[in-house]
A and B are shown apart, each in its own frame.
Chain A
Amino acid sequence: MKIRYWGVRGSVPVPGPSTVKYGGNTSCVSVEVDDTVLIFDSGTGIRECGNYLMSLGKKINGKIFISHTHWDHIQGFPFFVPAYVPGNTFEIFGPPSDVQNLSLEQIMAMQTNYEYFPIRISQLGADITYNDCREGTVNVNGFEISTCRLNHPVACLAYRLNHDGKTFIYGGDHEPYRNVYRDSKEGESMDEDFLKELDENAYMQNNKIAGFCRKADIVSWDAQYNEEEYKSKRGWGHSTYEANIAMAQNAKIKKIIFSHHEPMNSDEKLAQREQQCKEIARQKDFELEFSREGMEIDL
């Protein structure tokens, strides 16, 4: 399989001279296997992905997997040219909103409401179908894809793709689970046994995620912050380099790719951090890389 990164930035697109090396577009990764193209997330990076697919001059039968429906993961879709071309077909998978009782299709359609965009999603020329996805396994054109729910302020999934003995995991946004009552004012009045039970719940959930990633060849994962930055961003739904390094080691991941870079971080800062993280990973015997727009990996 051929993996290509089209958008690697978290939260908001950040074009400009300080983001040339790693890139400023929001999340999008494609995986090509034979004649099938699988696309993970449709942040602004999907625009360039679409232009690439159009340049191949063939009908496109694509599968799009949305990790979650926050803007930085869907905002490029209205600019994905292949979706406008009759004859192309796309199956879109992703989590519905159990909080607001909305299907994936309803949520995707909302971003092209008349007040926001001139073309309705229903007017797109390609044949597009939507599938609400929760935890489980789906078979798509002979590909087995399992999903795992992540910890983010909206329903969010990681996708595990197994093909030909190789495993690629695309994680959406994720903050490691923690006991929010521990070391808090409310926790002071709680029974220690109950606090321990809540600690165990958080531990159990983190172990579940590590189990999902276990022994994968490549795991592409949210690494928006370092521990220092995270201190003021607790509860925002993102992970740290340090937590991910621990998970990679615990889950015996062969290669972890840190992505969803914090928009405030420049090329210079990211390059420095990448070197530091790579050195730690080398000592712990796994591979590590920061994602960059245009990066290609053969697996």
Chain B
Amino acid sequence: MPFTVEDIDKKVDQNIPSLSPTAAKVMELANDINCPPGELTKVIKLDPVLTAQVLKLVNSSYLSLSNKIVSLEKAIILLGLNTIKNLALGAAALNQMEASSTSESFDNNGFWQHSLAVGVTSKLIALRRGVDKKIIEDYFIAGLLHDLGLVLESKIFHDEIERVILTATEVGIIEAEDIIFEGLNHCKIGAVLGKKWNLSEDLLNVILYHHSPFENNPSELTSTVYLANSICKNSGTGLVMDKTPVDIDPQIFTKLGISNTIESSVLESLEGEIQKAKEFMKA
């Protein structure tokens, strides 16, 4: 059945819960009156939905900043710790109430791990490239949020998502979405949500073009997230819907001015970072 961007536009006003792997830790920290700001930032940074919601709130409150990606530390100063706590609690509570609303076939834990892995990998690539440290966190946030559309897709298309997942193992996620939704995919869905949430133009481009790295003259940020996403998929980190490896276009390495050996060197650090995140949430 064909679905359009307009269909999605009508549905994005609903509240979107945080991800289940982080919800319990968020509840624990946000309920603690003496929770240090650093701990709260740390757990929010592990959840793409919460991170996007904080950016939404900052951008809707301080319109002049909406063209930049704002770090979570800065958001806490601009919006106040209590506001961030309330936002986090709201989204985490929604997760507990709406646990059944996402399709059982959608692997929440795997999705969380993949988002985090792409965030960490994007940052690692940027560090290796010597990107200005002032914007290093932008790379993490962009990687973390690149698949935001999948969260909404699995919520809105409760029944169809199962068919998407099954088909993706044969033909890849984008092709599968094209077959099931006839023209719509998680990139376009994510962009509609991101636009509604006032996310910056840079982030919208990452969300929209992370599967088509040469479309619309992509920024270094989009190219980096494309590469990070491909590396994580090929290494099987977190949820990988399509089973065929991504053929990374060699032009990406030229564009970013790095060697293709970066793949193995970032993977070494990645595993340790994911492990640290898991331990933090269990602590």
Which residues of A are at the interface with B, using a C-beta cutoff of 8 A?
A: 98-101, 134-135, 149, 151-155, 175, 177-181, 184-186, 190-191, 193-194, 197-198, 201-202, 205, 235, 237
Contact = CB atoms under 8 A, between A and B. Distances in A.
Contact of A152 (B13, B63, B73, B80): B80
Interface string B192-214: 00000000000000000000000
B36 A185 contact: yes
Contact of B82 (A153, A179, A186): A153
Interface stretch (B83-91, B171-179, B241-249): B83-91
Contacts of A190: 73
Q: Choose among A193, A198, A205 the residue with the greatest number of B CB atoms under 10 Å from its CB.
A: A198
Contact of A99 (B38, B73, B83): B83
B60 interface: yes
A100 B80 contact: no
Interface in B23-50: 36-39, 41
A149 B61 contact: yes
Contact of B73 (A151, A178, A198, A205): A198
Given A180-B77, A197-B134, A235 B82 contact: yes
Nearest to A150: B80
Given A98-B57, A101-B13, A184 B37 contact: yes
A153 B83 contact: yes
A202 B36 CA distance: 18
A155 B61 contact: yes
Contact of A177 (B77, B83, B87): B77
A62 B62 CA distance: 30
Contact of B15 (A101, A135, A153, A180): A101
Tell me whether chain A's interface is mostly helix, strand or loop, or mixed: loop
Interface in B43-95: 56-57, 60-63, 73-74, 76-78, 80-83, 86-87, 90
With a 10 A CB-CB cut-off, give which of A179, A181, A191 has the most chain B CB atoms: A181
A98 B198 CA distance: 12
A185 B36 CA distance: 8
13 contacts: A99-B57, A153-B86, A154-B82, A154-B83, A155-B61, A177-B77, A180-B77, A184-B36, A186-B39, A198-B73, A198-B74, A201-B77, A237-B80
A237 B79 CA distance: 11
B74 A201 contact: yes
Contacts of A201: 74, 77-78
Given A98-B57, A98-B61, A101-B13, A180 B82 contact: no
A202 B77 contact: yes
Contacts of B255: none
Given A101-B13, A101-B15, A184-B36, A198 B60 contact: no
A180 B63 contact: no
Contacts of B76: 180
Across chains A and B, which 8 residue pairs bring their CB atoms closest together, nearest first?
A: A186-B38, A153-B82, A99-B87, A180-B37, A99-B86, A201-B77, A98-B57, A202-B77
Contact of A186 (B15, B36, B78, B83): B36
B133 interface: yes
A181 B40 CA distance: 12
Nearest to B37: A180
Interface of B: 13, 15, 36-39, 41, 56-57, 60-63, 73-74, 76-78, 80-83, 86-87, 90, 133-134
Given A99-B86, A198-B73, A201-B74, A180 B81 contact: yes
Nearest to A202: B77
B51 to A, nearest CB: 15
A155 B78 CA distance: 12
Contacts of B80: 151-153, 175, 235, 237
Contact of A191 (B57, B78, B81, B133): B133
Residue from the set A134, A175, A178, A194 with the largest chain B CB neighbour count within 10 Å: A194
Nearest to A177: B77
A151 B75 CA distance: 12
Which residue, B57, B76, B80, has most C-beta atoms of chain A within 10 A? B80
A143 B160 CA distance: 53
B96 to A, nearest CB: 16
Contacts of B56: 98
B11 to A, nearest CB: 14
Contacts of A155: 61
A158 to B, nearest CB: 14
A98 B90 CA distance: 11
Contacts of A99: 57, 83, 86-87, 90
A268 B39 CA distance: 42
B155 to A, nearest CB: 15
Contact of A205 (B37, B60, B63, B78): B78
Given A205-B77, A237-B80, 10 more contacts: A99-B87, A101-B13, A153-B86, A175-B80, A178-B77, A181-B73, A186-B36, A197-B134, A198-B73, A235-B81
A135 B63 contact: yes
A179 B81 CA distance: 11
